[in-house]
Amino acid sequence: MLKVRSPILDMLCMILAQAQTGSPPSIPGGGIGSFFVPLIFIFIIMYFVMIRPQKKRQQEQQKLVASLKSGDRVVTSAGIHGLIANVKENTVLLKVADNVKIEIDKSAVTNVMKEG
């Protein structure tokens, strides 16, 4: 006669054998640590790929805005080229053509053009 063993019966026998030895049942797959280690690595990679470069760009933009002065040729985020005529606390007066001046936020300046 052919005996067929079921996986449930095998699992039950293994649990009973571990209960007799006094050791706790093992979690398949290596436990909770094997779940968190890859998750931590993913967050570390995301920090170096996304968050750190963004912080660097923000710091560079703040330095650029702080260093604006009259006479600088600049480009705004809208693509407007002009010459700074006056610097105020939060805005700059930008000369874009003869007798045409517009007032924009300092944060709208994205690039200072080099002379020459």
- Those residues with Cβ within 8 angstroms of residue 86's Cβ, 6 or more apart along the chain or in another chain: 70, 92, 93
pLDDT, position 5: 67
Count the alpha carbons within 13 Å of 20 in the hemisphere toward its beta carbon.
Answer: 6
pTM comes to 0.59
Going through 52-90 in order, the beta strands assigned E by DSSP cover: 73-76, 81-87
Going through the chain in order, the beta strands assigned E by DSSP cover: 73-76, 81-87, 91-97, 100-105, 109-113
Adjacent-strand bridge partners of 20: none
User: Among 22-31, 42-51, 66-75, 88-97, whose mean pLDDT is lowest?
Assistant: 22-31
Contact 72, 112 (CB under 8 A): yes
* pLDDT, average across residues 78-102: 94
Higher-pLDDT residue of 64 and 13 is 64
45-75 confidence digits (pLDDT tens) = 999 899 999 999 999 999 999 999 999 999 9
